[in-house]
Structure 1
Amino acid sequence: MGLSRRQYAAHRGVSHTAVAKAIASGRITLEADGSIDPVKADRQWDAQTDPAKQRGVHAPALGSATAAGTARAAAATRPVPRAAIESVGETLREAGADPEAGASGEVSFLRARMANEVIKAQTAKVRLQKMKVELVDRARTTAMVFDLARRERDAWQNWPPRVAANMAAELGVDPHQMEQVLDKYLRKHLGDLAEVKVDLR
């Protein structure tokens, strides 16, 4: 005869509701008579629960650096697919950590969490590198903008002498006078454009 749900909750140091949820989710199983074998249930609970989420007297002291606490937390494992175990091992190897998983084909929540944190850090690093690549050198960009503006200005200033004769012929006016008028208004327009300030801060 095992323990009742309330007795096991007291043994475990958790609420009756927590025990009921563990049973409902299949994290622990009942005996044939409906009672709970505390030794078997403790083993199942530890194997099926993230150590960081453990509650009660059986919760590992994750905040303390004791060897017993570390060993107890590392022992809490749940079976996962081989591909997931290999992925965790590969991630930890890349980070320079010991990638060894349990010999029985299990991987602890702590190791999986460590691998997850490594992946998040690697992702953040890749994003930062991408942002750096997308940034441009301010001085170089400023020089390019002003060089482009200067060439644009020179091209427009050379435009009146090239088109004045043809325009004058079409309008039946003096070519020299036509060039002078075009040059006058073009320089005024370029002067207005020069007032536009480019802020590259």
Structure 2
Amino acid sequence: MADGVSARQLAKILGVTEGAVRKALKANRIKRLPDGLIDREAAREAWQGSTDPVRTKVRTEPQTVRTRGTHPRVEVRTPAEAREAVSLIARVLAEEGVEDADGSIDFSKARTAELILKARQRSLDQAEQQGRLIERAAAEKLFFDTARELRDAWLAWPARIGIELAAELGIEARVLTQALTNHVNRHLSELGEPMGDFR
């Protein structure tokens, strides 16, 4: 059974005005259930699919109702924190190619840096929702496991190919296999082990 909510409750869930919800209902962008209520998840998906994310403050994650003043206020308490904040702003602006990024930091530059960081976070959130991001630990483990498999395959290769290759060349298989093993071991030693401890 769908979890039905009223237009007013949905507006609070989405973080928009009740008028915006009523307008969406009238335009059939979101639909009512047979009992007159609205399925909150279906409405959230419909809203996301038909609303420009730049022009709305709709929540994209199921959360509790937004209340005023819930954002923690960041305060700079020491000169070191102030220097760190200014350094971060300058670095963000420089990375985006903003002119005079290393000059004095005013409110306009701080606001620009904040918008850049929000845009980056939004991009990361969207990539995560679309499944284009994976956890770093999982990626590192996959890399390490793949490197180990390749190393093990190379270590087994001389014994697997040695007899066949010795027959083609007309030389003793044991000598050729040992020579191939020595060269493979030396090469793998030069490459080194994958970095990190992923156990």
* TM-score for the superposition, normalised by structure 1: 0.38
- The structure whose Rg is larger is 1
* TM-score for the superposition, normalised by structure 2: 0.38
